[in-house]
Structure 1
Amino acid sequence: MSFVLDGVGLTHANGFTALSDISFSAGQGERIALIGPSGAGKTSLLSVLGTAHRASCGHVRLLENDLARPSTAGLRALRSRIGTVYQAAPIPGRQRAVTAVLAGRLGQWPRWKALLSLLYPLDLPGAQAALARVDLADKLFSRCDQLSGGQLQRVGIARVLYQQPDLILADEPVSALDPTLADAAIRLLVSAASERQATLVASLHAVDLALTHFSRIVGVKAGRIVFDLPSSAVTPAQLQQLYAGEDMHAGAQADGTTAEGMATGSTNYCCC
């Protein structure tokens, strides 16, 4: 198994409960899309899988590691096997794209090599190959504060491709991309995961991308899992119920669809 969450809850220090009674597992190599309204808990769920947050209750087993009492060294080794694509890539503006991409393997390299690579890029061909896969080979030495939001998001994807992790987590990985680039980026993540038999879990607002590219859809709302189904089994009625109460008007205007289209089963919409 890639991971097992059993009765997991997450309550923050301020008392807000982000997740409640989450039981969720995946075999190695699965492709899973998390969908649901804003504030549903999708990012919180990814943060537990990525070990950024420790579950307040329940049991988590991740890449054959029990997270009940992880050691510092064990947690560091585990994190090196997990690659995360963020909605807003946490990359310093003054850093060059090549350094940002090579940072994907800092957790796998010995300390001396990791520090040296921050000063002088040690694998230029590897970084350039990863950037080429997201059509940014010409930006190898560009400073990240000179890149657009969409380009920076693609640098984040290239970093995970270079890392070659066993578990890929993607939190709204294409939010800054136009529809054509978004589709290409999701195809690339799916392809990269398949090449290594890595598990891919992505949080997506664009339901059409989720249904098209992912074999399993998990609907999340109010910190709980509402449904967990093969993509072919998800119905328009279930989507309507999942997004009930969301303001669909702005999203419909953005991509030229309507809420009525959603009800009739059209998948050309984005629930934001």
Structure 2
Amino acid sequence: MRPLRLPFWLYFWNCTFFRFLRNTLTRRAARLDARSGQSGAEEVRNQYLGKQVTLDEAGNVLHRDLARQARAEQLPSLEAELVTCRRHLARRVSARALAIAFLLLVLLETLGNSIVTRDLGSEGVERWLFALLLSLAVFLLVYLASQQETSKKKVNAWYIATLIALALIVVAITLMRLSHGTDNLAYVLAEGAIFATCTMGAAIGSHKIFAAWHDVSPSWRETSVVRREVNRLRAERERALLRITTIERTRDWWENESVILLAIYHRAWRRAAVRQ
């Protein structure tokens, strides 16, 4: 029986095919490395070109796969946490915005009813500007006092600042009224006490608003961190899905080409057997 002799063109086509397959897989693995930043070339070569891998390399590949799976399982919980953080943050910000709007409305209404509507002349405008400046000064003092640390050993600074500001307001209004010829001291003191009470309410409300606004900052940072983590995991999942799809397509292509190659070999073997 003569040995099996195949045509020269079949050997040439075989070598060309395997060279083309090796180059294609290498280029595809390099593109995957550039996209995902992972060592996909070694895994593709080990899986499709029959390279022997060591136990450490297999352990590293398995560790990366387990880490990707754990991060993929963590993604739904992080997305739910992100939604919760956004709702909580929106609720807090809307409450602070409503509180600030209400505070400004009350302050302007108090100033308008007590000063501007009674005296519309030049003196009324001066008094309104003077009261507005005092209110802004109290607001600034309370804000600066709220930035300081408070403890059991330290006195609460914003209470002292508010009381000092209110005392200055009462003294200023009293001197202003007495300088304009008002002899009824009880009337002047009552008006100053009413204005001081309104200003104190505005100062306390402002302090509470700023204290609550500082509580919003950690929630904002936490939401940003969770949002970045979710975006990173989504991008990693998309890269993993793209890599898996590419590998599956390559495997299907390799299987189809293997079937064609086996069919060619089988046909050539039958022809050689018939010739014999």
TM-score, normalised via structure 1 length: 0.20
Question: Hey, which of these two has a bigger chunk of helix by percent?
Answer: 2
Structure 1 or 2, whichever has the larger Rg, is 2
The structure with the greater share of residues assigned to strand is 1
